[in-house]
Amino acid sequence: MQIHDLVGIGFGPSNIALAIALDEQRQPGRHLDALFIERQNTFAWHPGMLLDQTHMQISFIKDLATLRNPTSRFSFLNYLHEKQRLADFINLKTFYPSRHEFNDYLAWAAAQFDDYCAYGEDVFEVLPEYSGETVSALRIRSRDANGHVRDRLARHLVVSPGGSANIPEVFKPLHADPRVFHSSRYRDAIDRVPRARRIAVLGAGQSAAEIFLDLQGRTPDMQVDLIMRARAIKPSDDSPFVNEIFNAEFINDVYGASEAERSSMLREFWHTNYACPDLELIQQIFKVLYEQKVSGGTRLRMKRRHEVRGVTADHDGIHLRLTDLHNEQATAERYDAVVLATGYERALHRQLLAPLAPWLGDCSVDRNYQVRSPANFRPAIFLQGACENTHGLSDTLLSVTAVRTGEICDALMEAQRKPWPQAAAPAY
């Protein structure tokens, strides 16, 4: 069985950026045989939230390559040049392209590495391969849509599976009910309940705000409740000094701090990344609600300081037991559908790497995102988008992706230069 120098789990923006970094560092004697495995059948970036009129929250300069290599042919500007839209984009006078356009940019970059990506396969297990008492390689096991299992061997591994939908405990018993769905599936899932006229949206972040506006504009008879525990929708703080926390060099400050200091930083700047829609979006919601007051309408409501304490479902709809956190008063509401704009979890890497726990422990990482391991564990394993607690709030964002993948690329090259044990024999 062929042993790849590197296998990457997932082929979203982070691993596409890594493929670019590897391509741009390719020199005689420094080439890595890399393969990426992606569960989706084709490239797609948050397809459930590709709504009309939505735009990026960060500058196009924070693309897949520019902050690492401003001359890269994989930059957003070169994408515009190749698509013959550069002059037109300049005339837009914006740093924030539409989400549709940035998705097209990512797909354009991904397509240039089609030969290095196996689409439509879901990695479900990573196992050790031995040379004597040393783990010398990894066996990556994946399953396609037909249930066929394929094994591949790798000397090194980069895990970048992205976030998984965070479903509140109270809603988990209804995971199979098509009337309750996470925001990550919104665009397709809402079309599967075409008769829904009373809809609840849970959350106070960018996705919740975008979905609320999208729903209110669909049909004039649709009733929409935006339910949140917060007292108000707070805008993201994108002022210059605060935005410095998303600079690549700030990672050194976070990583070098004590655990208590890091926790304090995460708390202090939490609202720069979570539950913080753009101010323009908040103003649009306020305007819509104000115009409803002028007309005397009641179809749109914001239920602030409310928490869902109970959920039941029957043929008539989804019934929520809500508690007003101001006075602990309980009320019941019936909806035709419920959208959970409740964020994401970042724990998939622990599930995938569970068989390696005797060597990897709690998957703690060094400054270069490499999981710490003992001397008798030869493969280098890197995490992308799962190191917020040690590397800061920028870790799950595009802000540092280009620079981070350059650091991982350098660490991979260094790992390759170390003496290699005798090749592992297949375990099966």
Rounded to two decimals, the pTM is: 0.94
What pLDDT score was predicted for residue 198?
Answer: 98
Q: Which residues contact 70 (CB under 8 A, 6 or more apart)?
A: none
Element (DSSP H or E) covering residue 126: strand 121-131
Task: Look up the CATH architecture of domain 166-235+274-340.
Answer: 3-Layer(bba) Sandwich (3.50)
CA distances from 405 to 66, 248, 272 (A): 12, 11, 23
The pair of three-digit structure tokens given for residue 281, joined into one six-digit string: 């979006």
Question: Alpha-carbon distance 23 to 69, whole Å?
Answer: 12
Q: HSE-up of 68 (CA within 13 Å, CB side)?
A: 27
Which residue(s) pair with 135 in the sheet? 130, 377
- Going by pLDDT thresholds of 50, 70 and 90, the confidence category of residue 124 is very high
Query: Which tokens go with 188?
Result: 């397709």
Q: Residues 224-251: pLDDT tens digits?
A: 999 999 999 999 888 999 999 999 999 9
Amino acid 425: pLDDT: 43
Cα 109 from Cα 103, distance rounded (Å): 10
Cβ contacts of 150 within 8 Å, gap of 6 or more? 121, 141, 142, 143, 144
Residue 184: which of 169, 200, 162 has the closest Cα? 162
Provide the terminal-to-terminal Cα distance of the chain, rounded to the nearest Å: 11
pLDDT of 413 strictly over 60? yes
pLDDT tens-digit map of 156-206: 999 998 999 999 999 999 999 999 999 999 999 999 999 999 999 999 999
Task: Let me know if the fold of 3-163+346-416 is the same as that of 166-235+274-340.
Answer: yes
Question: How distant, in Å, are the alpha carbons of 118, 135, 262, 397 from that of 247?
Answer: 33, 36, 16, 11
Tell me the CA distances in angstroms from 337 to 180, 182, 195, 226, 301, one per residue in order: 6, 11, 10, 12, 15
Position 424 scores a pLDDT of 46
Domain boundaries, the chain: 3-163+346-416, 166-235+274-340
Fold of 3-163+346-416: FAD/NAD(P)-binding domain (3.50.50)
Q: Which range (117-121, 272-276, 287-291) has the least confidence?
A: 272-276
**Whether the predicted pLDDT of 428 surpasses 80:** no
C-alpha 416/C-alpha 30 separation (Å) is: 9
